[in-house]
Amino acid sequence: MKLITTLTLGALLAASAVLAAEKPAPAPNGIELPAYYKNWRVIGVSHRQDKESLRVIIGNDTAVNAARAGNTKPWPDGSILGKLAWKDQVHPKWAPATVPGEFVHAEFMIKDSAKYAKTGGWGFARWLGMEQKPYGADQSFVQECLACHDQVKDNDSVFTHPVPLP
Ligand code: HEC
């Protein structure tokens, strides 16, 4: 009986660990990590020399459809833009190739012009590393995001220009 209880408890703990791993804690401003973002399509790519990292800019269906249609001034409500970043790494078999190394973070901008009116219509959130730890001690982390993103206010606070596609 005791063995069964221990086993059951173990299974429960393992199950809750899996659940916890699937759903990281929300950002300090209450934004939840968007579900299924790993299945989103690509809007752009970039290489940051200052941060020595590769980035892929992805979007949910609303954002990708807007990008493909050139309907990004402004991006429609419901658009979510994501950016995934990896440290630069030299390809072990082909040195001139820079490929993704260590995963740095996933960050998001959620368009809701009424809800996020005070921050240019976008809700900002970031999760760090493979453990997806929410970034920021409190809600004021958003000011950091705005310090850069406000510089492209004339492009709806978005730096990325969707990649040209044939
Ligand atoms: C030091 C300046 C800087 C800060 C601070 C910053 N960003 Fe950005 N962000 C950029 C640049 C530049 C890009 C364009 C892509 C790239 O080069 O990485 C970008 C791109 C993005 C994108 C893709 C959409 C776009 O605008 O191109 C998201 C999403 C994003 N950032 C979220 C955030 C969040 C969330 C924060 C705050 C936690 C933040 N950023 C803080 C400079 C910054």
Closest CA to ligand 1's atom 36: 145
Ligand 1 midpoint to CA 86 (Å)? 14
| 61 is a domain residue | yes
Residue 18 lies in a domain: no
CB burial string 4-40: b at 16+ within 10 A, e below = eeeeeeeeeeeeeeeeeeeebeebbbebebeeeeeeb
What is the number of structural domains in the chain? 1
CATH number (domain holding residue 133): 3.50.70.20
Query: Which of 126, 121, 48 is closest to 83 using CA atoms?
Result: 126
Q: What share of the chain is helix, strand, coil (3-state, %, to 5)?
A: 30, 35, 35
Cβ 126 under 6 angstroms from ligand 1: yes
Q: Does residue 163 sit within a domain?
A: no
In order along its 166 residues, the chain shows pLDDT tens digits of 455 555 555 555 555 555 555 689 999 999 999 999 999 999 999 999 999 999 999 999 999 999 999 999 999 999 999 999 999 999 999 999 999 999 999 999 999 999 999 999 999 999 999 999 999 999 999 999 999 999 999 999 999 999 999 9
Pocket probe for ligand 1: among 148, 154, 161, 163, the residue whose CB has the most ligand atoms within 8 Å is 148
Of residues 91, 134, 147, 83, the one with CA closest to residue 109: 83
Range of the domain at 70: 26-155
| Cβ–ligand 1 contact at 144 (below 6 Å) | yes
Is 21 among the domain residues?
no
Q: Which of 139, 145, 161 to mutate to test the pocket of ligand 1 (most atoms within 8 A of CB)?
A: 145
Q: What is the pTM of this model?
A: 0.90
- The answer to whether residue 70 is domain-embedded is yes
